[in-house]
């Protein structure tokens, strides 16, 4: 089948500002991933088209982009699941500086992630010759948050991020949850101190954009609400 | 003249092996980790099923069982002293990962949960190690995202240690002069700037090269740059002919469906619904090692018992539907999700169409047990050069790797490499480097950008991948391999006439793909020549014209190296055997 694609292009070496370019692909299959379409364009039509990708099956987090108005992974959408009446609109993730075409600068995103101390903090030394014990139930409480592939789709879809660039954002907060609720961790207080401020968790007004966009279907706001509860009980 | 940055240690690669080594380098040494993708995007994150150690958390098990399985799995080509090191260190390594914060699934006592995986067994009677063996719960896991959480955990520990990352830097050359490694040349993908990283030590941890095949479980970035750079630097590569096809890739796409699916009780079926593995491996059936299962699937298809897909290619079924929705959702959520998303198949109700997929390089950069890279087959080493992970060949996997042994290899040898580097740094000075050390890379890149030939990177790569599938895949023979040798010569000529459309400096992925293609062709070359040369069938290397294993002539490692413009040279290194004399490999 034939499809139309409209892509936001920007090459800082040539273009004064971003512009839309249309491509018509005469022969694609509805089973194709959107990533296959981008490759088709890059390999057969325009080698300058620039995007990140690696795993091609939704696990490395490279190819977050805005597709028909919603942040998604290009490798995790099939053409048959998209509305084909209009050209497929592909833009870079919003609220991050564009480096070139669909590649955005994620430096700020990773800095915020590092702020929440994304590693196990312990004071008690672990047992010398075996693992720490944890019930499977407690372990599973972490799994949904540990699924996060740091694609940035959530944070760049969050209206609070758009209006306040200091907001730490859902992905970093989700990471805070991952450790605060780990029964093995002893750094909850340090971490809660970091996120318990106006640019921290309280900027989240539960607008749910993040959940709608997360390609790993993580219920981000539920996790954030657990953090909010934890902070409130800590203060009491 | 290029910018020069100086470090004590440069690690190329931020997958499991590179990160585990980085964690080991103490703060008093400066260490740079270079990666062509952001560290958490590295391929280790796609690993699903597990990482093994004889913890014995679910049932009685022992490291010696693990040693024997790994040796037998390797079809006796693995070096037994190295295998002992890995399997005996496994328990400590897994516990260490837990202590670092890895969120494992747990058993009823709150210990790390374990499950079955292909080729991991124990004797029914502990006093009869060579008697009947049955599958054992040895793979430690976190649902089916083991590699993902392992990569996350190691990355987190690097952040904790303030490791210096250079993300989206592409290494184009490893600088080796007179047997001494002096650093690397890399370019910053986001600016195009070429930089010399001058260092006392370089560790190569660049992962595998599955992208030489059309159907593969490997990421697009899995182009084996490190093995190719070493080969192009004139150093030998070991056992490159041993390339593993995983039996269960999603049909058409190659996306992996982990062995965990069979470990949890999934069954392979042909078009008649028959559990065909019962004919090929009566005792362990679907949990036979990968080389055997892949061959069984292709045999079923060749004999007309596959299912023909819409595009004319064939597949067989992997059925997990009888496990029930609860187990599937709890233990195999990710992989069954792939079947749903990409093939529109509902695994709780219907079988999944699968075909073997190119998966893992057993061969690679030859190293000793401390990850020091060999200069030759006689055991001299390159000073300051280390390698670990899938790009290296210790050799612990021999002719066929067992599932879950790779993630283990990364953490055991990543750590050992890190420790050896620390020791080496105590006595070594930074050696001098030529200011023009980057010129070769610079010209090569300029040349690609300026060329106006009419060959396309995409077309050459596709031709390479298709012909590797056809001529150097699961079953091989002299005729096909010779065709592949000719094909490589032809593609090398074509490569000289490529042009790229993107001529810019900033984030030029067109250029990156061209450089990666060059590396793929080199890796295909060492693989094919090795395969043509080895006249026997062992593990993943199956020669239809030499169907038997030949221990008299071929119980030895291949060391292949480039020879100017001539055909590559092949030399040999003996296999180390400690306790287990080669036996017939039956399951
Ligand atoms: C789908 C899948 C599932 C798997 N499941 C399992 C499993 O369950 N258990 C198991 O034990 N094994 C499994 N394996 C195998 C295992 O995951 C890999 O062998 C292992 O992760 C490789 O790790 P690595 O650190 O060597 O390399 P990688 O993780 O591939 O990392 C390579 C690094 O090198 C960098 N790099 C490469 N080239 C360059 C360059 N030119 N310049 C700069 N940087 C560069 C990359 O950016 C990356 O950071 C699986 C493999 C696949 C493909
Ligand atoms: S729920 Fe919170 S984090 Fe998510 S989009 Fe809304 S404000 Fe942002
Ligand atoms: S929470 Fe979801 S959307 Fe956000 S970074 Fe993680 S995977 Fe991406
Ligand atoms: S390419 Fe890895 S998530 Fe899409």
Report whether residue A62 contacts ligand 4, using a CB cutoff of 6 Å.
yes
A195 and A180 share one domain: yes
| Confidence band of A68 (pLDDT split at 50, 70, 90) | very high
Residue A204 maps to which CATH number?
Answer: 1.10.1060.10
* For residue A61, pLDDT beyond 80: yes
* For residue A228, pLDDT beyond 90: yes
Q: Which among A91, A86, A203 has a CA at the least distance from the CA of A155?
A: A203
| CA A64 centroid distance within chain | 7
* For residue B144, pLDDT beyond 90: no
pLDDT tens column, B330-366? 888 888 889 999 999 999 999 999 999 999 999 999 9
Report whether residue A92 contacts ligand 4, using a CB cutoff of 6 Å.
no
Report whether residue A171 contacts ligand 3, using a CB cutoff of 6 Å.
yes
- Among B341, B345, B357, B511, most A C-beta atoms within 10 A, so best to mutate, is B341
Report the percent of chain B where pLDDT is more than 70: 100
Q: What pLDDT is stored for residue B284 in this prediction?
A: 85
A98 and A117 share one domain: no
Helix (H) / strand (E) element for B559: namely: strand B556-563
| Confidence band of B1 (pLDDT split at 50, 70, 90) | low
Compute the mean pLDDT over every residue in chain B, rounded to the nearest whole number.
95
Main-chain dihedrals φ then ψ at residue B200, nearest 5 degrees: -80, -30
Residue to probe by mutation, ligand 1, list B11, B14, B15, most atoms within 8 Å of CB = B15
Report whether residue B418 contacts ligand 1, using a CB cutoff of 6 Å.
no
Q: What is the CATH number of domain B243-360?
A: 3.90.700.10
CB proximity A216 to B under 8 Å: no
Q: Which among B208, B311, B325 has a CA at the least distance from the CA of B256?
A: B208
CB proximity A11 to B under 8 Å: yes
Average the pLDDT over B73-82 and give the result.
Answer: 97
Judge: B46–A55 Cβ closer than 8 Å, yes or no.
Answer: yes
CA distance B174 to chain A (A): 24
Q: Is B290 a catalytic residue?
A: yes
Q: Which of these is catalytic: B133, B138, B211, B290?
A: B290
Q: Between B457-471 and B509-533, two packed helices, what is the crossing angle to 10 degrees?
A: 20
Report whether residue A63 contacts ligand 4, using a CB cutoff of 6 Å.
yes
How many domains does chain A contain in total? Answer: 2
For residue B184, what are the contacts with CB-CB under 8 A and spacing of at least 6? B10, B12, B34, B171, B173, B174, B175, B196, B197, B199, B202
DSSP conformation letters of A71-130: EEEGGG-BGGGS--SSPEEEEPPTTS-EEETTEE--HHHHHHHHHT--S---SSPPPSSS
A90 and A173 share one domain: no
| Confidence band of B412 (pLDDT split at 50, 70, 90) | very high
* For residue B468, pLDDT beyond 80: yes
Cross-chain CB nearest to B509 (options A50, A106, A138): A50
Judge: A133–B111 Cβ closer than 8 Å, yes or no.
Answer: yes
A77 and A173 share one domain: no
User: What fold, for B439-546?
Assistant: Methane Monooxygenase Hydroxylase; Chain G, domain 1 (1.20.58)
- For residue A135, the chain B residues in CB contact (below 8 A) are 106, 110
CB proximity B107 to A under 8 Å: yes
pLDDT tens column, B471-506? 999 999 999 999 999 999 999 999 999 999 999 999
* For residue B127, pLDDT beyond 90: no
Chain position carrying tokens 């919603």? A70
CB proximity A63 to B under 8 Å: no
* For residue A235, pLDDT beyond 70: no
* Alpha-carbon Rg for chain B in angstroms: 23
Domain boundary residue, one of A87, A104, A121: A104
* For residue B587, pLDDT beyond 80: no
The 3-state DSSP class for residue A228 equals helix
The neighbour count for residue B526, using CB atoms within 10 Å, is 29
- Among A113, A146, A151, A177, most B C-beta atoms within 10 A, so best to mutate, is A146
Report the percent of chain A where pLDDT is more than 90: 88
Q: Which residue segment(s) compose the domain that A81 sits in?
A: 3-104
- How far lies A25's CA from each of A88, B194, B342, B348, B455, in Å? 11, 36, 21, 36, 22
Q: What pLDDT is stored for residue A236 in this prediction?
A: 59
Looking at the CA of residue A153, tell me the nearest atom of ligand 3: 3
A23 and A92 share one domain: yes
Burial B281-306 (b: 16+ CB within 10 A, else e): beebbbbbbbbbbbbbbbbbbeeebb
| Confidence band of B534 (pLDDT split at 50, 70, 90) | very high
Beta strand B542-543 pairing with B475-476: parallel
Judge: A150–B510 Cβ closer than 8 Å, yes or no.
Answer: no
Map B525-545 to HEC letters: HHHHHHHHHCCCCECCEEECC
Domain boundary residue, one of A62, A84, A104: A104
Average the pLDDT over B444-459 and give the result.
Answer: 94
* For residue B384, pLDDT beyond 80: yes
pLDDT tens column, B24-35? 999 999 999 999
**Contact of A34 with A75, CB cutoff 8 Å:** yes
**Contact of B184 with B34, CB cutoff 8 Å:** yes
* For residue B226, pLDDT beyond 70: yes
**Rounded to whole angstroms, how far apart are CA atoms B260 and A158?**
36
Report whether residue A160 contacts ligand 2, using a CB cutoff of 6 Å.
yes
A116 and A223 share one domain: yes
* Alpha-carbon Rg for chain A in angstroms: 20
Compute the mean pLDDT over every residue in chain A, rounded to the nearest whole number.
94
Q: What pLDDT is stored for residue B311 in this prediction?
A: 85
- The dihedral built from the CA positions of residue B370, B376, B382 and B388, taken in this order, carries a sign that is negative
- The CA A155 to ligand 2 mean position distance, Å, reads 8
Helix (H) / strand (E) element for B188: namely: strand B180-188
* For residue A138, pLDDT beyond 80: yes
* For residue A102, pLDDT beyond 70: yes
CA distance A232 to chain B (A): 26
- The CA B82 to ligand 1 mean position distance, Å, reads 21
Domain boundary residue, one of A77, A104, A131: A104
Taking every pair of Cα atoms in chain A, the longest distance, rounded to a whole number of angstroms, is 64
- Residues in a beta bridge with B168: none
Measuring from atom 2 of ligand 3, which residue has the nearest CA? A214
Report the percent of chain B where pLDDT is more than 90: 90
**Contact of A116 with A169, CB cutoff 8 Å:** no
The neighbour count for residue B527, using CB atoms within 10 Å, is 30
pLDDT tens column, A16-35? 999 999 999 999 999 999 99
In this prediction the pTM is 0.96
Q: What pLDDT is stored for residue B563 in this prediction?
A: 85
A226 and A120 share one domain: yes
Chain position carrying tokens 């080496």? B424
Q: What pLDDT is stored for residue B319 in this prediction?
A: 96
* For residue B138, pLDDT beyond 70: yes
Q: Tell me, what DSSP letter sits at residue A161?
A: H
**Contact of B390 with B364, CB cutoff 8 Å:** yes
Q: Which among A235, A142, A133, A229 has a CA at the least distance from the CA of A181?
A: A142
A157 and A199 share one domain: yes
Residue to probe by mutation, ligand 2, list A160, A167, A225, A227, most atoms within 8 Å of CB = A160
- For residue A147, the chain B residues in CB contact (below 8 A) are 145, 148
A227 and A114 share one domain: yes
A116 and A216 share one domain: yes
**Domain residue ranges in chain B:** 243-360, 439-546
Report whether residue A153 contacts ligand 3, using a CB cutoff of 6 Å.
yes
B-facing residues of A in 158-177 (CB < 8 A) are none
**Rounded to whole angstroms, how far apart are CA atoms B421 and B24?**
9
Q: What pLDDT is stored for residue A234 in this prediction?
A: 82
**Contact of A57 with B46, CB cutoff 8 Å:** yes
Q: Which among B48, B393, B374 has a CA at the least distance from the CA of B243?
A: B393
A113 and A204 share one domain: yes
Report whether residue A158 contacts ligand 3, using a CB cutoff of 6 Å.
no
Judge: B334–A59 Cβ closer than 8 Å, yes or no.
Answer: yes
- Among B19, B42, B100, B101, most A C-beta atoms within 10 A, so best to mutate, is B101
A135 and A51 share one domain: no
Helix (H) / strand (E) element for B448: namely: helix B439-450
The neighbour count for residue A188, using CB atoms within 10 Å, is 17
Judge: B41–A61 Cβ closer than 8 Å, yes or no.
Answer: yes
Judge: A47–B111 Cβ closer than 8 Å, yes or no.
Answer: no
**Rounded to whole angstroms, how far apart are CA atoms B105 and B305?**
38
- For residue A149, the chain B residues in CB contact (below 8 A) are 40, 45, 148
Helix (H) / strand (E) element for B32: namely: strand B31-35
> ipTM more than 0.85?
yes
């Amino acid at each position: 089948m034939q499809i139309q694609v409209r892509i936001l292009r920007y090459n800082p070496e040539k273009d004064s500002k971003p512009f839309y370019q249309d491509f018509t692909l005469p022969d694609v299959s509805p089973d194709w991933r959107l990533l296959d379409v981008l490759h088709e364009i890059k390999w057969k039509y325009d080698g300058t088209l620039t995007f990140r990708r690696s795993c091609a099956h939704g696990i490395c987090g490279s190819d977050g982009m805005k597709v028909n108005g919603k942040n998604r992974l290009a490798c995790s959408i099939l053409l048959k699941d998209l509305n084909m009446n209009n050209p497929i609109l592909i833009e870079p993730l919003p609220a991050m500086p564009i480096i070139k075409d669909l590649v955005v600068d994620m430096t700020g995103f990773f800095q915020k992630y590092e702020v929440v101390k994304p590693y196990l903090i312990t004071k008690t030394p672990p047992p010398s010759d075996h693992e720490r014990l944890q019930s499977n139930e407690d372990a599973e409480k972490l799994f949904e948050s540990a699924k996060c592939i740091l694609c940035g789709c959530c944070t760049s879809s969050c209206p609070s991020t758009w209006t306040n660039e200091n907001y730490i954002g859902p992905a970093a907060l989700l990471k805070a949850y991952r450790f605060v609720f780990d029964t093995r961790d002893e750094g909850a207080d340090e971490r809660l101190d970091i996120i318990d401020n106006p640019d921290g968790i309280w900027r989240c007004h539960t607008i749910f954009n993040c959940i709608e966009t997360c390609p790993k279907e993580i219920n981000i706001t539920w996790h954030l609400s657990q953090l909010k509860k934890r902070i409130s009980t800590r203060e009491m | 003249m290029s910018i020069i940055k100086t470090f004590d240690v440069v690690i190329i690669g931020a997958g499991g092996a590179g990160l585990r080594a980085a964690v080991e380098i103490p703060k008093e040494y400066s260490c740079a980790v270079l990666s062509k993708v952001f560290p958490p995007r590295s391929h280790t994150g796609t690993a699903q099923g597990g990482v093994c150690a004889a913890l014995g958390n679910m049932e009685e098990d022992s490291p010696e069982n693990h040693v024997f399985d790994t040796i037998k799995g390797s079809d006796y080509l693995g070096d037994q002293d190295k295998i002992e090191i890995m399997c005996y260190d496994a328990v400590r390594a897994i516990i260490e990962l837990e202590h670092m914060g890895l969120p494992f699934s747990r058993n009823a006592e709150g210990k790390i949960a374990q499950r079955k995986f292909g080729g991991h067994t124990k004797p029914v009677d502990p006093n009869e190690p060579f008697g009947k063996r049955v599958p054992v719960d040895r793979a430690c896991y976190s649902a089916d995202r083991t590699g993902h959480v392992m990569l996350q955990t190691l990355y987190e520990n690097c952040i904790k240690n303030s490791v210096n990352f250079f993300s989206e830097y592409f290494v184009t050359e490893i600088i080796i002069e007179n047997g001494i490694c002096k650093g690397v040349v890399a370019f910053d993908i986001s600016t195009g700037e070429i930089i010399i990283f001058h260092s006392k030590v370089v560790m190569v941890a660049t992962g595998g090269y599955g992208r030489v095949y059309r159907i593969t479980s490997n990421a697009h970035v899995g182009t084996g740059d490190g093995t190719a750079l070493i080969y192009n630097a004139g150093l030998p590569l070991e056992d490159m002919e041993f390339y593993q096809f995983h039996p269960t890739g999603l049909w058409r796409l190659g996306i992996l469906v982990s062995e965990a699916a069979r470990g949890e009780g999934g069954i392979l079926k042909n078009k008649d619904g028959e559990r065909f593995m019962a004919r090929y491996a009566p005792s362990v059936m679907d949990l036979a090692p990968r080389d055997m299962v892949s061959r069984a699937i292709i045999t079923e298809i060749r004999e007309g018992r596959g299912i023909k897909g819409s595009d004319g290619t064939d597949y067989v079924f992997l059925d997990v539907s009888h496990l029930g929705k609860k187990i599937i959702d709890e233990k195999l959520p990710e992989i069954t999700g792939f079947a749903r998303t990409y093939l529109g198949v509902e695994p709780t109700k219907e079988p999944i169409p699968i075909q073997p997929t190119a998966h893992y390089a057993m061969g690679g950069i030859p190293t000793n047990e401390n990850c020091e890279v060999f200069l030759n087959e006689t055991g001299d080493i390159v000073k300051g050069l280390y390698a670990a992970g899938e790009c290296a060949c210790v050799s612990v996997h021999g002719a066929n790797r067992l599932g879950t042994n790779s993630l283990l290899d990364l953490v055991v040898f990543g750590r050992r490499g890190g420790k050896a580097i620390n020791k080496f740094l105590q006595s070594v000075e930074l050696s001098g480097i030529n200011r023009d050390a980057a010129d070769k890379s610079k010209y090569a890149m300029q040349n690609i950008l300026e060329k106006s030939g009419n060959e396309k990177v995409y077309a050459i790569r596709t031709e390479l991948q298709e012909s590797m599938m056809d001529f150097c895949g699961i079953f091989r023979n002299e005729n096909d391999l010779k065709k592949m040798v000719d094909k490589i010569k032809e593609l090398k000529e074509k490569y000289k006439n490529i042009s790229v459309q993107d001529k810019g400096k900033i984030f030029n992925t067109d250029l990156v793909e061209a450089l990666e293609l060059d590396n793929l062709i080199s890796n295909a070359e060492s693989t094919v020549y090795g395969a043509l040369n080895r006249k026997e069938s062992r593990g993943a290397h199956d020669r239809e014209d030499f169907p038997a294993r030949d221990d008299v002539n071929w119980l030895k490692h291949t060391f292949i190296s480039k020879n100017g413009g001539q055909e590559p040279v092949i030399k040999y290194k003996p296999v180390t055997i400690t306790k287990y004399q080669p036996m017939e490999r039956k399951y």
